[in-house]
Amino acid sequence: MLLPQSTVGRKILMAITGQLMLLYVIIHLLGNTTVYFNNLNAYAAALRAMPLLLWLVRLVMSAALVIHLYLGIVLTLENRKAKSGSYAVTSHISTTFAGRNMIWTGALIVAFLIYHLLHFTIQIVAPEFAAIRHPDALGRPDVFTMVVRGFQQSGTALLYVFFMATLLLHLTHGIQSSFQTWGLNNEKSLPIITRGGQIAATILFLGYASIPLVIVIGLLK
């Protein structure tokens, strides 16, 4: 794997892949909001009508994820090695809970992605609701009904909300850190970046978590 050999280079590539995946998360959420307007089946059909673009996005995002995950592990090990033996007492005054646990929230997000793909893309989790087996009135895979039936199961809905909270934690630090990598970490810009990252992460959490929540409480059927 041809990756930067320097720590700075690895951090830059980490920022690039992280921001690329952030862009995907934003676009994916915008697409998911069509569930509120009963247009989810049309949105899914439109995506399937562009198979080359769809698979290109999947390949690029898969590569970005693998690189991001690999670099995250490498940089975490480097940081721990650099700190080991340097201080008798570890201080967390200047770090946050989200920052100290990026590797773990990242691992949970990867686990969620696998489950999510099995659930709504490959559709082998809860196959009785699989969209590919149940067409709508227009003959399209009934993605809307699959999502609604899936999230009507309280355990599934709460599991998704939990993983979205994990994403919230990861992005709270990750957005800030990725922009700091580009040198935007002076006294004036850092508070703005930090607050902006927190707000963006919260909006994404609320957007994603709202879908299973409104379904499980019966507001969307």
pLDDT (tens digit per residue) in 130-164: 999 999 999 999 999 999 999 999 999 999 999 99
Torsion of CA 197, 199, 201, 204, to 10 degrees: -140
DSSP bridge partners of 135: 141
Angle between helical axes of 40-48 and 143-151 (0-180°, round to 10)? 120
Radius of gyration of the chain (CA): 20
pLDDT-based confidence at residue 93 (cuts at 50, 70, 90):
very low
Torsion of CA 120, 24, 39, 52, to 10 degrees: -80
Rounded Cα gap, residues 48 and 206, in angstroms: 27
pLDDT of residue 89: 45
Q: Is the pLDDT of residue 122 over 80?
A: yes
Looking at residues 123-135, what average pLDDT do you find? 95
| pLDDT (average), residues 55-76 | 95
Angle at 25 between CA 33 and CA 120, to 5 degrees: 65
Tally of CA atoms within 13 A in the half-sphere of 194 that contains its CB: 11
Please determine, for residue 90, whether its predicted confidence score (pLDDT) is greater than 90.
no
Q: What is the pLDDT of residue 1?
A: 53
Q: Mean pLDDT score of the chain, rounded to an integer?
A: 91
